[in-house]
Amino acid sequence: MSFSVCVYCGSRPGADPEYMADATALGDGLARAGMRLVYGAGDVGLMGAVARAAQAQSGDTFGVIPTHLLAREMGKRDLNRLVITENMHERKKVMFMNSDAIVVLPGGAGSLDEFFEVLTWRQLGLHDKPIFLMNTAGYWDPLIAMMAHLVTQGFAEDSLLDLYRPVDTVPALMSALELAAA
């Protein structure tokens, strides 16, 4: 099976057009690299952009969506594989279990929830999958500063900062993913 990349991202396009551009470039890059996209199965916002770009290159797409979001996120039914779950917890578990690496694009509270869950699991030694923050246009700079603040204020070890990697461009992200897949 191909290397699978779980992408957490917004169900909205965001305020900066670079967010959609990077989502599109990532979907395209994953497909061209022969990597499978694992994502939230929505056809809106950054989610839809990354999936449509992967599909445009005949990429392998695996979507996971809970029943209560099918209408709201316009569940994309033309994926290679679509899993419909009963709730958000099951969605996150299925996405995580079917991926080899995690990428967090710009997004809202849901994307933060997903990031902190996989980060915490990695901190606890429950997995060693690489986690990447796609820092499009400095979107995650406040979060990166907050993570350093956790350390300086004594609520986390320095090692927390080594459990994820911010990347500023899609080419840099693709290079890191290709290294992880090797």
Helix axes 45-56, 17-32, angle to 10 degrees: 30
The pTM (predicted TM-score) of the whole model is 0.94
Distance CA 127, CA 119 (A): 9
- Domain containing 48 equals 4-181
Per-residue model confidence (pLDDT) at position 155: 96
Report the chain (182 residues): mean pLDDT per 10 consecutive residues. 92 96 98 96 93 96 87 73 91 94 97 96 96 98 98 96 97 97 92
* Residue 140, C-beta contacts closer than 8 angstroms, at least 6 positions apart: 104, 106, 133, 134, 166
> Are 20 and 14 in contact, with CB atoms under 8 Å apart?
yes
What is the domain-level CATH number for residue 160?
3.40.50.450
How far CA 132 is from CA of 17, 38, 48, in Å, comes to 21, 14, 20
- pLDDT, one tens digit per residue, over 102-131 is 999 999 999 999 999 999 999 999 999 999
CA atoms within 13 A on the CB side of 126: 11
Per-residue model confidence (pLDDT) at position 68: 83
Per-residue model confidence (pLDDT) at position 72: 66
Work out how many domains the chain is built from and give that number: 1
Per-residue model confidence (pLDDT) at position 79: 85
Per-residue model confidence (pLDDT) at position 71: 66
What letter does residue 100 receive in the DSSP assignment? S
> Are 130 and 35 in contact, with CB atoms under 8 Å apart?
no
